Structures are given as structure tokens and as C-alpha cells.
Amino acid sequence: MAETMIDVRELPRDEAYVALEDHLQLALDGIRDPIAVMATMSCLLYHGFGHLWAGFYRVVGRERLLVGPYQGSLGCLEIAFGRGVCGTAAAERRTIVVPDVGTFPGHIACDARARSEIVVPVTDRGGALIAVLDIDSESPSTFDDRDARALERLVRVFAEPDGVPPAPPRR
Ligand code: SME
């Protein structure tokens, strides 16, 4: 179990994600329960980079996203597929990098301080869309293709077999 938080702000971008991924695997210790993974990943991304908001919107019901584990200021609760950056990424199942949220039609401003954003679709082992990972920054143009590729790699953990350790034997 990793004992401490890490700060990756001083590292080159690619190294930062490798360090976070290593830390995530240590922290998860084989656990693949999706809610536990979402909570742990949100925590590491938020504190590791010092972002404004980092977390998940889960697919619940028909074409509806509901806020899931996150770190940061209060997130909007529900987002319909096709609405905002999250809903568009979910509907189109593609990563969206927004250098300036003011230019994205229908951007949903949960926190007025947000200037740039990235949203990455999350799929399970069977290829079903289960969530989107959303990260918001107070600075413009925080995210680019390197973040997109690294985060897409990071969320592949949700497609791994469930590694929740078996319950201890009952006496
Ligand atoms: N800005 C997002 C909404 C979620 S919050 O930023 C946490 C969007 O436009 O989908």
C-alpha cells in the first residue's frame, strides 16, 4: 500500500503519468472494484497535478451521466448524453480536449474558475461505456494529446479482470 500522496507537477508530462500509474497500482493493491478505482484515481490526479476538479461521471440509466467519485469543488449531479463536454464525450465515445471552455458550445460550468478541460470515455472489459473521466483546470490550455493518450491508458484499468481479493475465511 502506498503510504503518501505524490506531487508530479515538476515532472515532464509523460513521466508524471508513469509515476501516477505506478502509484495507482500500488495504492489499489490488486483491487479492481470500479468505484474504488475511480475514487483512488480521482484522488491521485487531483492532488498529483493540483487540478481544479478530477473525477468521474458514471453511466446510469438511459444515456444519463451521474456524478461519481471525484475530488474538488461540488460537481453538477446529472448530465445527459450529448450535453456539455462530458455528455458529448459519452455520446461520441471519444476523448475531448478543450483548451478554452468558453469556446465549447454548451460547456457546463460547475465551477466558474474552470478554464480548460479534458474528458475521457471509460469502458469495461466487455467494451461497454461505464463512465467518463473529467478533469478541469484553472489554467487555459492545460491538456493536450499527451494527456489524452496517457489518461486513455490509465483508464484501461477498468477493463482489467476484477482483482478484489477474496474475503477471509469465516471461522
Ligand atoms: N464541465 C463539464 C461538467 C462537469 S464539471 O466540469 C465537473 C461539462 O461541460 O460536461
β pairing state of 64-72 and 53-59: antiparallel
Position in ligand 1 atom list of the atom nearest CA 79: 10
| Residue 54 belongs to a domain | yes
Task: Kindly state if the Cβ of 80 falls inside 6 Å of ligand 1.
Answer: no
Task: Tell me which residue range forms the domain holding 65.
Answer: 13-159
| Residue 62 belongs to a domain | yes
Q: Measure the CA–CA gap between 129 and 107, rounded to whole angstroms.
A: 21
| Residue 2 belongs to a domain | no
CATH number at residue 130: 3.30.450.40
| Residue 145 belongs to a domain | yes
Task: Kindly state if the Cβ of 136 falls inside 6 Å of ligand 1.
Answer: yes
Task: Kindly state if the Cβ of 86 falls inside 6 Å of ligand 1.
Answer: yes
Tens of pLDDT, residue by residue over 126-147, are 999 999 999 999 999 999 999 9
Tens of pLDDT, residue by residue over 68-113, are 999 999 999 999 999 999 999 999 999 999 999 999 999 999 899 9
| Residue 1 belongs to a domain | no
Among the listed residues 91, 80, 85, the one whose alpha carbon sits nearest the alpha carbon of residue 119 = 85
Which of 115, 134, 143 has most ligand 1 atoms within 8 Å of CB, for mutation?
Answer: 134
Count of domains for the chain: 1
What pTM did the predictor assign?
0.93
| Residue 4 belongs to a domain | no
Q: Measure the CA–CA gap between 153 and 56, rounded to whole angstroms.
A: 16
